[in-house]
């Protein structure tokens, strides 16, 4: 396999406007989940989310545009021939909400092609871009597709931009599924009741090692392996035996040529729902046995950012590998005793090796990415 470098990364989250502020908030165990003020959530049982101040649209445009601007503003110079992959599940959903309510809104924003084309122009790329929408694994799969294209020689550089908003549409849907915790999510805690929504975005630049060296770029880390699988079990519920995630993780390990014992830490999907968290623990137990691997979820801190989750978690995972520190799982207090994996309310030191980052989504989709800190 060819080395796939990550040469640049940005993050915008409820914890802060960049990677450094988001990382500090995660390591300090802070949570950005708070009462929703953007719209009236009083009729819903769960009224909290991690949302970003100041994303006020102009002229009926979507909040997605100022979010995207914040995400890409921190990127360095990009190769003009870079491919563009985006990941979002709901795009300009706030525009659709306004129009449905009889308020001003630009209907041209609603097709996902509009924000994707805006990004291509903003970044000065010749590629018109493709959006990946695979539920909550969208940006993890976008990263996998970018790495696969580079590995196969179909591209030398790919920019992945992921973003999603907190909206009443999504809040109402998850409330209807009784999948939200009114007090904020508690991933892997024995008292967990559901997830918290979040909004944010990330941008990642992936390059072949040869191209990156030629341009004098440094590596933040590498995408060493990737795997995707579908458990084909239920439209919203995961397979209880974790079969799809097991397959995805094993595919990522095999593609990287890495043994399970070389995984030093796991950043899990970790939504805080009863069934997702247990499914992940079951899958990791099947792959890694009883070894007490440090494991965390950042969704208790920044909420579940839907299509942006995997991209944000790749950026934070690479930082964790570089710092040899796994941030705490905000909201976690006590394990239910069903796993030997080491979930903690405080930061955990991690040894040399790879970090496994996983995401799962509606429709039975599962994605696994293996991240390394050394660029050969």
Catalytic positions: 136, 269, 304
Contacts made by residues 110-113, CB under 8 angstroms, sequence distance 24+: 112/88
Q: In whole angstroms, what is the distance from residue 346 CA to residue 39 CA?
A: 33
Angle between helices 309-323 and 138-151 (to 10 degrees): 70
CA–CA dist 248, 235 (Å, integer)? 18
Pairing of strands 348-349, 325-326: antiparallel
Provide the pairing of β-strand 4-12 with 200-208.
antiparallel
Burial (0-12, 13-18, 19+ Cβ within 10 Å), 54: exposed
Helix H, strand E, coil C: the string for 153-207 is: CCCCEEEEEEEECCCHHHHHHHHHCCCECCCCCCCCCCCCCCECEECEEEEEEEE
Q: Give the tokens for residue 264.
A: 């030093």
Q: Rounded to whole angstroms, what are the CA distances from 59 to 90, 95, 109, 168, 356?
A: 20, 11, 12, 20, 42
Phi, psi torsion values for 158, nearest 5 degrees: -135, 135
What's the start-to-end Cα distance of the chain, in Å?
Answer: 12
Read off the DSSP letter of residue 14.
Answer: T
Phi, psi of 50 (to 5 degrees): -100, 110
Contact 312, 305 (CB under 8 A): yes
Question: How many residues belong to the chain?
Answer: 376
């Amino acid at each position: 396999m060819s080395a796939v470098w990550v040469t640049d990364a940005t993050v915008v989250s409820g914890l802060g406007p960049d990677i450094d502020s988001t990382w500090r908030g995660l390591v300090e165990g802070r949570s950005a989940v708070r009462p929703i003020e953007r719209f009236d959530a009083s009729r819903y049982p769960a009224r909290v989310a991690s949302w970003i101040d100041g994303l006020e649209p102009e002229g009926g445009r979507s909040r997605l545009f100022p979010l995207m601007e914040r995400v890409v503003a921190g990127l360095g110079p990009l190769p003009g021939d870079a491919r563009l992959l985006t990941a979002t599940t709901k795009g300009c959903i706030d525009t659709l909400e306004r129009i449905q309510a009889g308020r001003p809104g630009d209907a041209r924003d609603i097709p996902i092609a509009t924000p994707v084309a805006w990004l291509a122009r903003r970044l000065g790329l010749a590629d018109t871009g493709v959006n990946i929408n695979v539920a909550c694994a969208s940006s993890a799969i976008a990263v996998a597709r970018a790495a696969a294209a580079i590995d196969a020689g179909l591209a030398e550089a790919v920019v992945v931009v992921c973003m999603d908003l907190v909206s009443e549409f999504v809040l109402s849907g998850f409330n209807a599924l009784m999948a939200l915790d009114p007090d904020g999510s508690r991933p892997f805690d024995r008292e967990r009741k559901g997830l918290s929504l979040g909004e944010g975005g990330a941008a990642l630049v992936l390059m072949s090692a040869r191209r990156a060296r030629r341009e004098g770029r440094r590596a933040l880390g590498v995408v060493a392996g990737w795997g995707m699988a579908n458990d084909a079990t239920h439209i919203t519920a995961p397979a209880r035996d974790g079969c799809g995630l097991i397959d995805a993780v094993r595919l990522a390990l095999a593609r990287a040529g890495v043994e399970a014992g070389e995984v030093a830490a796991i950043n899990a999907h970790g939504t805080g729902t009863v069934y997702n968290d247990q499914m992940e623990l079951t899958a990791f137990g099947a792959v890694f046995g009883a070894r007490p691997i440090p494991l965390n979820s950042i969704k208790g801190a920044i909420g579940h950012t839907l299509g942006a989750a995997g991209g944000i978690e790749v950026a934070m995972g690479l930082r964790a590998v570089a710092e040899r520190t796994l941030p705490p799982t905000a909201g976690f207090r006590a394990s239910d005793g069903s796993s030997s994996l080491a979930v903690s309310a405080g930061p955990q030191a991690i040894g040399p090796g790879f970090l496994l980052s996983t995401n799962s989504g509606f429709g039975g989709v599962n994605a696994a990415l293996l991240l390394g800190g050394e660029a050969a």
